[in-house]
Structure 1
Amino acid sequence: MADVTFSQRANVLIIGDFNVGKSTLINYQRTKQFDNTIVPTIEIEPSTINVTVNGTNMIFTVKDSPGMKEDSIKYGRFVFPEFQNCAVIMFVYDKTHRPSFDQITYLKQMVDELVNRRMECILVGNKCDIATDNDVTFNDGHERCAELNMDLFIEISAKKGTNVEELFCEAALRLKNMGLEFGSTKELHKSENNHKSCQC
């Protein structure tokens, strides 16, 4: 078996409010099954996920994080340091719970304040399978992606598996094209960082 090169590895951090489905998302990608017995995450929990894109196998160290509470000292201690160690951040909200969507703005502002590096920021609307309680629309998510200068917006269902594989494949493809190394991001000049385009 050939050694895995650094360019085939990357850290992915998943952040968001309580009960938006962060752990369920990771579990579905790993097992292809929904597990309704998952308990809330207490601290950063890493998992290894293999993703094949264009014939290249990429190894993601996916880090699950506790649910976010604004101004939480505990959250800041566990999660904020991880901003510096990842190439992708997935900002997950619950489409049926508007406050979880509104908190994405706060989280993205924290990332922008703490990290002056190139990374992929992906906005993820979970629970798209619950059509009868659709508090946050697709257009809401698309517009927020553009407002916050994120790189991609996608709606998923971590229960049904809708777009879960596509989410991780898209992240792998973008990182492969960027050539990011394990646990790092590319430095940008300030002018580049200020004009990062949204490809929603």
Structure 2
Amino acid sequence: MARRPYDLLFKLLLIGDSGVGKTCILYRFSDDAFNTTFISTIGIDFKIKTIELKGRKIKLQIWDTAGQERFHTITTSYYRGAMGIMLVYDITNAKSFDNIAKWLRNIDEHASEDVEKMLLGNKCDMADKRVVSRERGEKIAQDHGIRFLETSAKANVHIDTAFYELAEAILDKMPSNADDGSGDTDRIDPNRSGGGQNKSLLGGGCC
């Protein structure tokens, strides 16, 4: 049997209000592309990208969730399988930042207790429209003991850094003899072929 083309499988989740740029972050990382057409993701969508980290080939299965409340039941079911979660807000949208507290509660209620978390303040290229200071983002991250970065999918600022840092945090917690992360792959991995393919379960779009 042919050797699997990766050593570990990490399942990551992007959550946050609709319109904060989750899909654009995902597409910038997976395809190095940015789309200015802002169509809200419907339900759940995902991309796959394999990276190399500390001598291991790690397949990242990254789920992009809809921010709208009507998809809450669908999206929260994906929290349980996540090994890392990125909480995204828009630095030009105060409400999206205020709602981070709600998203953190969702993680506490639905995700594994040891899930790695990272807070992203997106759209940092729009400094002239900023309403959420970097210091406020840093404080809420510090209060909850999670990592923080300001990002821009449009200008490609800290996008790769965010995914690599989150993946490294997951890797560092794993037993040294772990040889794969695919224990329940078949349950939520409809894209068996890997690569950079995209699969939308209920439709989707950008940002």
Of Structure 1 and Structure 2, the greater helix share is in: 1
With over 3 angstroms needed to count, the CA separation of the structure-2 counterparts of 1:183 and 1:56, relative to structure 1, is same
CA drift at 1:183 = 7.0
Deviations 1:136-156 (A, max 9, x none): 111100101122x24201110
Specify the alignment match of 1:28 in structure 2: 28
Q: Which has the higher contact order (CA 8 A, sep 6+)?
A: 2
CA drift at 1:44 = 0.6
Say if 2:93 is the partner of 1:97. yes
With over 3 angstroms needed to count, the CA separation of the structure-2 counterparts of 1:183 and 1:143, relative to structure 1, is farther
CA drift at 1:13 = 0.6
2-structure distance, mates of 1:38, 1:134: 19
CA drift at 1:18 = 1.2
How many matched pairs? 178
Instruction: Say whether the 8 Å CA contact 1:96–1:127 is kept in structure 2.
Output: yes
TM-score by length of 2: 0.79
CA drift at 1:51 = 2.1
After TM superposition, the structure 1 = structure 2 runs for residues 3-42 of structure 1, keeping only pairs within 5 Å, are 3-4=4-5, 8-37=8-37, 39-42=39-42
Q: Percent identity?
A: 26
Unaligned 5+ runs, structure 2:
176-180, 185-207
Instruction: Say whether the 8 Å CA contact 2:79–2:112 is kept in structure 1.
Output: no
Specify the alignment match of 1:82 in structure 2: 78
2-structure distance, mates of 1:98, 1:38: 19
Partner SS state of residue 82, structure 1: coil
Specify the alignment match of 1:187 in structure 2: none
Unaligned 5+ runs, structure 1:
185-200
Specify the alignment match of 2:205 in structure 1: none
User: In angstroms, what is the RMSD of aligned CA positions?
Assistant: 1.9
2-structure distance, mates of 1:183, 1:39: 34
